[in-house]
Amino acid sequence: MSGFVESIVGRYVHVEIDGEINRIYFEENGSGIPLVCLHTAGSDARQWRHLLVDEEFTKQFRIIAFDMPWHGKSNPPDSQYDNEYRLTTATYTATIRAFCEALKLDRPVVMGCSIGGRIVLNLAISHASEFRALIGLEAADFQQPWYDTAWLNRPDVHGGEVCAALVSGLIAPNGPATARDETLWGYKQGGPGIFKGDLYFYRVDGDLRGRVGQIDVRQCPLYLLTGEYDFSCTPEDTLRTAASIPGAKATIMERLGHFPMSENPAQFRASIAPVLQEILSGQNT
């Protein structure tokens, strides 16, 4: 309907990360337990727009999604424009903690997808007491590379087109066409070298094999959900990871791929609703 205004509110917060103020764009809606959502590599927080307007979830959760520096409407740090972007475990972890601190969030739930799912595992290893629960979508301690990231940023290949074409195969077939198009549009809009720089964390710096066994879910519950059509972080990758973390709960989601919240929001809702309900129930016991 023309004239309809969504209930999502977008603002900027100044966040000090690695000694420099970053102007971080975030969107939020709802009230209750803070639920911070992390987007995938090379995209931005628009991936969460359907969750952000969920009438039921927003009654119980203050849902917040922010654009990582260099992504969406969060610019690179002022001092970094001329440098090659490379996301590290340390900077990614610091960014999430600083953002939560800047907004004075009280033990938020953090839900991340893909690289966001990987960093959630690191939060569970190193900072579990700061969070109420952690949710990793398309998350594993490691997964086998399936292409050379050098193709993502070179002058003779269109970066937006190749990034979108690569990840298009990670979307489950026969989902809603507009949701698929929108998911890929996010990749077509990424800055030069940003997807590649995010994957430095994913492939080189963020290998958590041998470390996830340290996770204590009694401190902070951990949920892992992966789409059956994700051949990047496969269901087997997630199940292997979950098997090495006593008490971690893993779900394989049907008819979903690597971008569950954006490629097929209704299908994703059916899987995430019981997780959010369980987190809510845990608060009342």
Partner 1 sequence: MNPDATSTDRPSVAFDNQVVEAFKTIPELLSRDEKLIGRGRWLDVECLLGPTVQPFHVTIRSGRILDMTPAPVLMRSWRFAYRATPAAYRAYWQAMPPPGWHDLLALTKRGEATLEGDLHPFMSHLQYFKDLLALPRRSGFGGAS
Whichever of 81 and 146 has its CB closer to partner 1, that residue is 146
Whichever of 21 and 157 has its CB closer to partner 1, that residue is 157
Q: What are phi and psi of 224, to 5 degrees?
A: -125, 125
Whichever of 144 and 277 has its CB closer to partner 1, that residue is 144
Question: Which structure tokens are listed for 168?
Answer: 């298009």
Residue 230 buriedness (CB in 10 A; 0-12 / 13-18 / 19+): buried
Q: What's the DSSP call for residue 109?
A: E
Separation CA 240–CA 219 (nearest Å)? 21
Q: Rounded to the nearest whole angstrom, what is the least distance from the CB of residue 174 to partner 1 in the complex?
A: 6
| Spatial CB neighbours of 33, under 8 Å, sequence gap ≥ 6 | 60, 61, 62, 108, 109, 132, 279, 280, 283
Separation CA 51–CA 265 (nearest Å)? 8
Q: Where on the chain is the footprint of partner 1 (CB under 8 A)?
A: 144, 146-147, 151, 156-158, 161-162, 164-166, 168-170, 172-174, 228-229, 231, 234-235
Helix, coil or strand: residue 115: helix
CA 50 → CA 9, 45, 56, 219, 270, distances in Å? 13, 11, 12, 30, 13
Separation CA 42–CA 255 (nearest Å)? 23
Q: Rounded to the nearest whole angstrom, what is the least distance from the CB of residue 161 to partner 1 in the complex?
A: 7
Question: Which structure tokens are listed for 110?
Answer: 């953090």
Q: Rounded to the nearest whole angstrom, what is the least distance from the CB of residue 255 to partner 1 in the complex?
A: 9
Q: Rounded to the nearest whole angstrom, what is the least distance from the CB of residue 151 to partner 1 in the complex?
A: 5
Separation CA 238–CA 252 (nearest Å)? 9
Whichever of 110 and 152 has its CB closer to partner 1, that residue is 152
Whichever of 21 and 165 has its CB closer to partner 1, that residue is 165
Q: Rounded to the nearest whole angstrom, what is the least distance from the CB of residue 155 to partner 1 in the complex?
A: 11
Q: Rounded to the nearest whole angstrom, what is the least distance from the CB of residue 253 to partner 1 in the complex?
A: 11
Q: Helices (H) and strands (E) in the chain — how many of each?
A: 10, 8
Whichever of 12 and 231 has its CB closer to partner 1, that residue is 231
Whichever of 117 and 175 has its CB closer to partner 1, that residue is 175
Q: Rounded to the nearest whole angstrom, what is the least distance from the CB of residue 81 to partner 1 in the complex?
A: 27
